[in-house]
Structure 1
Amino acid sequence: MPEDSQISNIHSELQEGMSLAKCRKCGCMKETLEDLESTLSSNLADTNSDLLKNTQNWLDQMEPIQYPCIGCAHCFPAVATNLIHQAFPESAQNDSSGCSFEIREDARFPVPGEYFAFCHGGDCPVAVSTLASVGLAEQLANLKPRELCIVGKTETENIGIDKVVKNIVSNPTIRFLLLTGKDSEGHYSGKTLLALAANGVDDRMKVIGSPGKRPILKNVTHEEVEVFRKQVQIVDLIDCEDVDRIVGKMKELSQEEFSSCGCAKQSKKAEVLQLSDVSTIQAEQPTRFRMDKTGYFVILPKLEKRIILAEHYSYDNTLLRVIEGNSARSLYWTIIENGWVTQLDHAAYLGEELARAELSIQLGFRYVQDKAVFHEER
């Protein structure tokens, strides 16, 4: 029987999460509430009844899901799930998560994602995960250290780690995985990677010794996990966001990898695995164009201020509003949250253009939106 304090802590985490709009649209929260409802329903007790009623009310308050999980530094549903597993140990056996991802054949990094890749040969042996610190990945990418092969976030302890394993075992150049940035409380993807290196996985593909919410790998094989563990040394700089220190560690690790003659140590060479067979669907060009009833956007990067403007117009060319931000992500998030785009194809187009505009500021090239040319003001 769980203690009152355990029930109270679960309630507090979920109540605080449900007060946030982002959590009410998150698949992670919905999955947690559904699992908790099932667990409480099979453990009927007076001490659980109020939490069950609140859980059912929270499920009613959930909005259409917009993302599976955004990997917040403190993930309320993930923390709550860990508390639920402590209060109801049998609930830990229930795995309702089901995530898969696209795999690109014949690609250096077969799993697409929000990362920056620079691999240019055997002298870039370091991969960096910035865990839940998304901005840190961009900072390191802008510096382009020669030792860096790939850098990106790892926000979740299951699909996030699946992607890391897939991309690393496909690149035997990578000898080190450097863990940096803040570890998401609840998901603990950084601690899960450390546990994976130390202990591997059990017969259910659960990472042994992970403190994460649901550290079960579904998109990799036992063989891929073992090659990953043999191929890379995982270096713990969790909580470090000092760019100079991280770059210095990259250089130190790279020097370790090479002998005095400058040749890579061949004894560590890892075999590249053939990725698991998955179905491949050929993409097609759109056959029709649909106008979004909310209007259209003109994207204007401002290099001198390092910001992006998105001007929103109606179809009679009336300027409705101007949205300003310093990243593509902040702009499209604001636009979607306010309902200023209503069609998926329009949202996809907008995300692509905003990303190009952001890159134009970072790399200094002239941005051209679609087929229209816009000159920056000088």
Structure 2
Amino acid sequence: MPIKKLMHLLANLFPNTDSGDNPMAVKIFHRMNVVKDFFVSKKFKKNKGWPAVQGNYVVGNPNGQIAVCTLTTDTLIKQIVQWDNIAIVGKVYTPNLGIEKIILNIVSNPNIRFLVLCGKDSPVFHAGQALQSLFQYGIDKEKRIINAIGHYPVLRNLSVEKINQFLEQIELANCLEEKNIEILHQKMLELHKMNKQPFSKNNGTEFTEIISEQAEFSMLKPGGKRIPLDYDHKGFFVITTDPEKKQITVKHYFKDNKPGYLIQGHSAEAILLSLLQNELVSQLSHAGYLGAELSKAETALKLNLKYEQDQSLKKTN
């Protein structure tokens, strides 16, 4: 029954006193509201679908009131998740898909009333700054977080209603860049003492409704046809490793087998970026192949495995 109808019904059942007050109706209303919140909480306990979406997090007590985002800091998670009243602890890097997952997992749990923001923010994506801006300034008509400075801070996969519910349900405890575990523990204790009731406007939101708001992907099957080696007119590459120097060597040859370029390094990514920057690869499939081979070579050096191009990694004798 909607809240307004319930209030009118109680007002009719219990007439006002001479002073115009209706203490009996108010008392019954508050008691019924407490009972409603209790059953919302119980309903949530039985629902095994939470958290609603996958992510980089650890679940504590699903009936806890506090969610914690440690941004890019790993070391805080293991200890914080053991504290009382902690529902979930996780990291976030991006100011779009990452924040969307935080919102979906929080609005699907009416018990969560606080979000503690701590740890080191990403110097590239600034997800922490974006969360601060979301609470302080909100979103524009394109669902872009106002005044967020990270890359593409747009919550395009969420409805405005879900974003607004998140902002109404949650109180942000801003401890951005704080990594001192004792200071953070003290902050959690302060929030725990506030003992807020479950968010009643959640109304037991169904997880199917939450999941339907996520972006839908088109399924592809793995596999395909490898393009022949001589298809790339820019030439081909020979990749070797030096276990003693922990070094990858890439030799580039032109199509007529004439030596082209030589590059040596320790990072598969850095070598691949150099090849692409110098326009030595013309085919996407060739770039993908090189990325896979260079990653294999780097892995072999790190794990003391034997690397041979186009072969599976093997243990050294």
The two structures have a TM-score, normalised by structure 2, of: 0.51
Say which SS state the counterpart of residue 227 (structure 2) adopts. Answer: coil
Aligned equivalent of 2:96, options 136, 139, 162: 162
Give CA-to-partner distance per residue, 1:175-201, whole Å, 9 cap, x none: 5443624656xx866433211023322
AA paired with 2:143?
M
Counterpart of 1:281 in structure 2 is 219
Provide the rounded CA distance (Å) in 2 between the counterparts of 1:297 and 1:197: 53
Counterpart of 1:235 in structure 2 is 174
Number of corresponding residues: 233
Counterpart of 2:236 in structure 1 is 295
Counterpart of 1:311 in structure 2 is 250
Give CA-to-partner distance per residue, 1:200-258, whole Å, 9 cap, x none: 22443243455679755433322442355446846353xx5xxxx63737974896599
Provide the rounded CA distance (Å) in 1 between the counterparts of 2:151 and 2:295: 32
CA contact (8 A) 1:177 1:232 kept: no
CA contact (8 A) 1:188 1:212 kept: yes
CA distance 1:191–1:323, shift in 2 (3 Å): same
Say which SS state the counterpart of residue 340 (structure 1) adopts. Answer: coil
Deviation at 1:338, TM superposition (A): 1.6
Provide the rounded CA distance (Å) in 2 between the counterparts of 1:357 and 1:266: 55
CA contact (8 A) 1:125 1:254 kept: no
AA paired with 2:137?
N
Counterpart of 2:15 in structure 1 is none
Provide the rounded CA distance (Å) in 2 between the counterparts of 1:352 and 1:212: 30
Aligned equivalent of 1:193, options 121, 131, 134: 131
CA distance 1:278–1:289, shift in 2 (3 Å): same
Aligned equivalent of 1:129, options 42, 63, 71: 71
Counterpart of 2:120 in structure 1 is 180
Counterpart of 1:65 in structure 2 is none
Structure 1 window deviating more from structure 2 (330-339 vs 215-224): it is 215-224
Counterpart of 1:336 in structure 2 is 276
Q: Within 5 A, what are the aligned runs for 1:1-378?
A: 108-109=54-55, 117=56, 119-122=57-60, 126-130=68-72, 140=73, 146=78, 150-151=90-91, 153-154=93-94, 161-172=95-106, 175-178=115-118, 180-181=120-121, 183=123, 190-210=128-148, 216-226=154-164, 228-229=166-167, 230=169, 233=172, 235-237=174-176, 240=177, 246=179, 248=181, 252=185, 267=198, 273-274=210-211, 275-291=213-229, 292=232, 293-298=234-239, 300=241, 309-314=248-253, 320-325=261-266, 327-355=267-295, 364=303, 366=305, 371-373=311-313
Provide the rounded CA distance (Å) in 1 between the counterparts of 2:298 and 2:180: 23
Give the share of equivalent positions with the same residue, in percent.
20
CA contact (8 A) 2:96 2:153 kept: no
Provide the rounded CA distance (Å) in 2 between the counterparts of 1:249 and 1:342: 54
CA contact (8 A) 1:299 1:309 kept: yes
Gaps of 5+ in 2: 1-51, 82-88
CA distance 1:298–1:290, shift in 2 (3 Å): same
CA contact (8 A) 1:126 1:254 kept: no
- Rg larger in structure: 2
Gaps of 5+ in 1: 1-105, 110-116, 131-139, 155-160
Deviation at 1:285, TM superposition (A): 1.2
Say which SS state the counterpart of residue 78 (structure 2) adopts. Answer: coil
Say which SS state the counterpart of residue 129 (structure 1) adopts. Answer: coil
Provide the rounded CA distance (Å) in 2 between the counterparts of 1:216 and 1:335: 33
CA contact (8 A) 1:313 1:320 kept: yes
Deviation at 1:286, TM superposition (A): 0.8
CA contact (8 A) 1:301 1:357 kept: no
Q: Over the residues paired in the alignment, what is the CA RMSD in angstroms?
A: 5.1
Deviation at 1:375, TM superposition (A): 6.2
AA paired with 1:324?
G
CA contact (8 A) 1:205 1:218 kept: yes
Provide the rounded CA distance (Å) in 1 between the counterparts of 2:161 and 2:147: 19
Provide the rounded CA distance (Å) in 2 between the counterparts of 1:150 and 1:355: 28
AA paired with 1:280?
S
